[in-house]
Structure 1
Amino acid sequence: MANTPYLDYLLKNFPNTTLKASGEEVGLPQGQMGNSEVGHLNLGAGRVVYQSLTQINKAIRDKSFFTNKKFLQAIEHVKKNNSKMHLLGLISD
């Protein structure tokens, strides 16, 4: 274990906190590791900026996804034109 007297002094004598840098705390799905882009985005905004997948998941959970005006318009267009709708997403680490 390293000897850290200066860091120990700072932590003991000055206000400090721990930042969480992964998962929903930075707008990512639970358990997903953060990265530089997400970190800078949240620090710069001063709040949690939800990433697309997290926004979609939240909207499905709170049911607002199913009342989204643009989504409902797309469904109506498909019905009216007897066509198909393809929902796509990117799956990666």
Structure 2
Amino acid sequence: MLLAVAACAEPAPPTLTVRGVYVGPQFEGQAALVDHETIPGRMDAMQMGMRVEEPGAFDGIAPGTPVRLTLDSASLAIVAAESLPAGTPLDLAP
């Protein structure tokens, strides 16, 4: 019975999107410190280091910039980052 239910479950999407603020690079650009909003069903809003899967994902993005991140849904590694307009309202952890 459980196998039948599991077979009918929808597969996880290959990527997730989350917004936040780029705090800065870590480990020579292999990771980024990001203050991100809640990732529904995964984790609360927090500041954390996240592995950067694509070199140069933050090229041209200055620390302190609001960003939209595309994450690999399995590893939560950053696969893409894009700037959001300054002053974009974000729901970040206190």
Higher RCO, 1 or 2 (CA under 8 Å, sep at least 6)? 2
Between structure 1 and structure 2, the one with the greater Rg is 1
| Higher percent of residues as strand | 2
Q: TM-score, normalised by structure 2?
A: 0.22
Q: TM-score, normalised by structure 1?
A: 0.22
| Higher percent of residues as helix | 1
